[in-house]
Structure 1
Amino acid sequence: MINQNCSLSMWLKKLEKIGEKKTSDLILLKSIAKKLDLLDCKAFIFTVTGTNGKGTTCAMLERLLLKEGYQVGLYTSPHLFNYRERVRINGLLLDETEHITAFKSIELARKSFILTYFEFITLAALHLFRNYSLDIIILEVGLGGRLDATNIIDSDISIITNIAIDHSNVLGKTRESIAREKSGIFRKDTISVIGEINIPDIIKKNAIKTHTILKKINVDWHWKKKNDYWNFFHSNIELYKLPLTQIPLSNAAIALAALYYSGFKIHEDIVRRCISSVKLPGRFQIISTTPYIILDVAHNPHAASYLSNKLEEMNIKGKIYAVIGILKDKDIIGIINELKNNVHYWFTAPLQNIRTANKKQLKNTFPIHNTSIFNNINEAYNHAFSMVKKEDIILVFGSFLTISELFFDKIYE
């Protein structure tokens, strides 16, 4: 048992150690959640999964629902700088004391049963939500879907943003196997909104098996980008000349689709006024323009492809200096290939995490002629910064850990 008088940071360190070698067990998790009366949520539940874009989709859902006056709880992961980022109530972070109180309750209920870090904090988030009168809860899946801790809760609307290769050591090495895991969030007689254009067959099969109702992009709902605006079409709803968003349009569109399918009243004027202001730190976040310094948490080829397109849209005259720290289980070569035509120089280093790619792995995967390898990511960044001119770009990416490790919270917007 953990000492009940621990600070939040002490709790988190102990939780990481307790369940670090345990695999997920949803049956056990459900039994503890039932004991704590966490399964019977009175709120409407959105569950969001996908390879990329989960966080921005959740952010769009949250913003529009809050602007309409609903009481909204959000559980998201991972965090950038502070654990408290993972749970928001009506758009606000909670005090450390509230998190600690929830942790104490979970610790007492689990008794001798071992929970993974993510299982424990998911139960804690649900415990926090129970303390508030919420109309809606938005749950971002941590990994996959079928065996994820968030899947102990039955959602009213399921969302799959997209399907690409990532976490292959856990989810499988094919889009079919990954889609099988993500479609594990489907529920009987509920709507599942799919933003993936090339839908694997297993999703259709699982929809039939679970009696879920698929609402597919380009079939049931549509969006189209024009030069400086976009249009959205959904059943009998047609929205023309919407303002462009700071998050990927695909994620804004699937959030809109899910909201309209949910039955919640979303006024058009709210949509038009709010969607362009939704943003998340670390998602193509520009923190300087002379030179450009861009932060992005892209950590797989699918996200790197989007990042490449965003860079090309900027039409920058200077050179791009990429500062990258990355985990060893990622498709490093695939990420590099997506950005090799954009980046002029690579500055890379191991991260302060046991899963990091080490110097040898970095040397074996990055281009020989324009790569410098450093002891840590701060050294890599400082060296890149010493070389750039005003017209150049420093691109910091590769992992949430890369950005948080560089202590950019000092300039966090």
Structure 2
Amino acid sequence: MINTNYSFSMWLKYLENLDKKIILNLNELKFIAKKLDLLNLEAFIFTVGGTNGKGTTCAMLERLLLNSGYKVGLYTSPHLINYVERVRINGHVLDENEHIFAFQNVELARDSIFLTYFEFITLSALILFKKYSLDVIILEVGLGGRLDATNIVNSNLSIITNIGLDHTSILGKDRLSIAREKSGIFRKNRIAVIGDIDLPDSINQVAREKKTILKKINVDWSWQRKENYWNFFHSDLQLYNLPITYIPLSNAAIALASLYYTKFKINENIIRKSIASVQLPGRFQIFSIHPYVIVDVAHNLDSSLYLSKKINEIDIRGKIYAVVGVLKDKDIEGIIYPLKDKIYYWYVAPLQTSRTASKDQLKNAFPASNTSLLDNIEKAYEKAFMSAKKEDAILIFGSFFTVSEFLISNIQKK
């Protein structure tokens, strides 16, 4: 057991080295949570699952609720630069000492029970939420749903943004299997808001088994994009001429739909002011325009397809250079396929994590004729920047780790 007087950085190092054989139930985690009295939190709880768009959906929910005067706690992952990004109270990150307090409590309560990194920090986040008198807690699912650490909490409303192929070695080889795992966050006689248009039937099956009330896109609520605005429709409510958001409209819409299935009152003027202000670092984030330097956490086929569409919205008059790092368990070809015809030259590199795709994996996945293999993302970006002219663009993507390494290296240079 760790010395509970450790500094924040020492705690993080300890947590990052946690290892545990995966057990196919949450019983031990629930046992610890019960000891810590974390299973009956008084706040209204949203649990947000799905393959892509969880973070942006959570951010939109948080902003709409905060601007409406509610006290909100948000748990999201992963972080890009600093661990403290993972927990926000009323829109603000917490002091490192508060995290240390929570870590100490989890460590003492777990006794001899082994926890994974995500299990440990989920309990830690719940401890922090319990300290504050919150109206709402928003929990972003880490992986899947049924066996995810966030699923120990009985949420009041669950959300599934979409179902795509990702983490197939854990969640299943097809959308039917993945949807079944993600539907594990459903609760009896409670609402689940679904944002996927092409819905795998396993979601309906789980809903019937659990007696969950599904509220589906294009059935119970909908949205439509126009050239310079969008419209939202929900039961007997219609909102027209809404401002275009920085985040994907599909995620803004599902957040809005979810709020209208709760007790919370959201003023239309607040909606209009709030939705245009939500931005997340690393989500089609533009750093410069001469040349364009764009970072995006796209790390699977669906998110790369969206990234490709976003690129089309920008007037790039020159060539596009790509800086890419990928994790070894990802579908590398699926990640790069939507952008293959757009990229003039690839600069690829392994990531600074044990989970990185190796140089051999990267070499085999990218076209030999226009790819350079570098030692790390920082060097890959330097090469791309030296090659690019003012009218060109540099696109940095492939993983949260890729974006994180780029952001950290730029902060250090400043």
With normalisation by structure 1, the TM-score equals 0.98
Shift of 1:21: 4.2
Q: Secondary structure at the match of 2:411?
A: helix
The answer (yes or no) to whether the contact 1:81–1:409 under 8 Å persists in 2 is: no
Q: Secondary structure at the match of 2:396?
A: strand
Shift of 1:9: 1.8
Aligned to 1:147: 147
Whole-angstrom CA distance in 2 between matches of 1:385 and 1:243: 34
Aligned to 2:252: 252
- Number of residue pairs matched by the alignment: 412
Shift of 1:317: 1.0
Whether 1:194 and 2:164 are equivalent positions in the alignment is no
- Cα shift readout 1:21-52 (whole Å, capped 9, x = no counterpart): 44464100001101110000100000000000
Q: Secondary structure at the match of 2:182?
A: helix
Whether 1:108 and 2:85 are equivalent positions in the alignment is no
Q: Mark the runs of 5 or more structure 1 residues left unpaired by the alignment.
A: none
With normalisation by structure 2, the TM-score equals 0.98
After superposition, the Cα gap between the structure-2 partners of 1:409 and 1:123, relative to the gap in structure 1 and judged at 3 Å, is: farther
The letter of the residue matching 1:128 is L
The answer (yes or no) to whether the contact 1:287–1:411 under 8 Å persists in 2 is: no
The letter of the residue matching 1:404 is S
After superposition, the Cα gap between the structure-2 partners of 1:409 and 1:383, relative to the gap in structure 1 and judged at 3 Å, is: closer
Whole-angstrom CA distance in 1 between matches of 2:341 and 2:249: 24
Aligned to 1:289: 289
After superposition, the Cα gap between the structure-2 partners of 1:150 and 1:64, relative to the gap in structure 1 and judged at 3 Å, is: same
Of 341-350 and 244-253, deviating more is: 341-350
Aligned to 1:410: 411
The letter of the residue matching 2:196 is E
Q: Secondary structure at the match of 1:297?
A: coil
- Cα shift readout 1:303-359 (whole Å, capped 9, x = no counterpart): 000000000111311111000011011110111111111111110011111111111
The letter of the residue matching 1:387 is S
- Cα shift readout 1:64-97 (whole Å, capped 9, x = no counterpart): 0000000000000000000000000000000000
Aligned to 2:66: 66
After superposition, the Cα gap between the structure-2 partners of 1:168 and 1:54, relative to the gap in structure 1 and judged at 3 Å, is: same
Alignment map for 1:323-402 (pairs within 5 Å): 323-402=323-402
Aligned to 2:156: 156
Q: Secondary structure at the match of 1:369?
A: helix
Whole-angstrom CA distance in 2 between matches of 1:231 and 1:409: 38
The letter of the residue matching 1:296 is D
Whole-angstrom CA distance in 2 between matches of 1:205 and 1:352: 41
After superposition, the Cα gap between the structure-2 partners of 1:20 and 1:12, relative to the gap in structure 1 and judged at 3 Å, is: farther
Whole-angstrom CA distance in 1 between matches of 2:64 and 2:412: 26
- Cα shift readout 1:160-206 (whole Å, capped 9, x = no counterpart): 00000001111011000100000000001110000000100100011
The letter of the residue matching 1:357 is A
Q: Secondary structure at the match of 1:346?
A: strand
Aligned to 1:36: 36
The answer (yes or no) to whether the contact 2:51–2:163 under 8 Å persists in 1 is: yes
What is the CA RMSD across the aligned residues, in angstroms? 1.2
The letter of the residue matching 1:281 is P
The letter of the residue matching 1:338 is P
Whole-angstrom CA distance in 1 between matches of 2:219 and 2:177: 24
Whether 1:261 and 2:222 are equivalent positions in the alignment is no
Whole-angstrom CA distance in 2 between matches of 1:163 and 1:409: 34
Aligned to 1:81: 81
Q: Mark the runs of 5 or more structure 2 residues left unpaired by the alignment.
A: none
Whether 1:210 and 2:210 are equivalent positions in the alignment is yes
The answer (yes or no) to whether the contact 1:166–1:300 under 8 Å persists in 2 is: yes
Aligned to 1:138: 138
Whole-angstrom CA distance in 2 between matches of 1:408 and 1:286: 16
- Cα shift readout 1:186-232 (whole Å, capped 9, x = no counterpart): 00111000000010010001111101100000000000000000000
Shift of 1:19: 2.5
The letter of the residue matching 1:315 is D
- Cα shift readout 1:245-287 (whole Å, capped 9, x = no counterpart): 0000000000000011112100100010110110100000001
The answer (yes or no) to whether the contact 1:24–1:116 under 8 Å persists in 2 is: no
Of 126-135 and 310-319, deviating more is: 310-319
The answer (yes or no) to whether the contact 2:378–2:409 under 8 Å persists in 1 is: no
The letter of the residue matching 1:298 is A
Aligned to 1:9: 9
Shift of 1:7: 1.3
Whole-angstrom CA distance in 1 between matches of 2:67 and 2:401: 31
The answer (yes or no) to whether the contact 1:22–1:115 under 8 Å persists in 2 is: no
Shift of 1:405: 1.4
Whole-angstrom CA distance in 2 between matches of 1:343 and 1:227: 27
The answer (yes or no) to whether the contact 1:23–1:116 under 8 Å persists in 2 is: no
The letter of the residue matching 2:352 is Q
The answer (yes or no) to whether the contact 1:77–1:142 under 8 Å persists in 2 is: yes
Whole-angstrom CA distance in 2 between matches of 1:58 and 1:18: 27
The answer (yes or no) to whether the contact 1:299–1:398 under 8 Å persists in 2 is: yes
The letter of the residue matching 1:410 is I
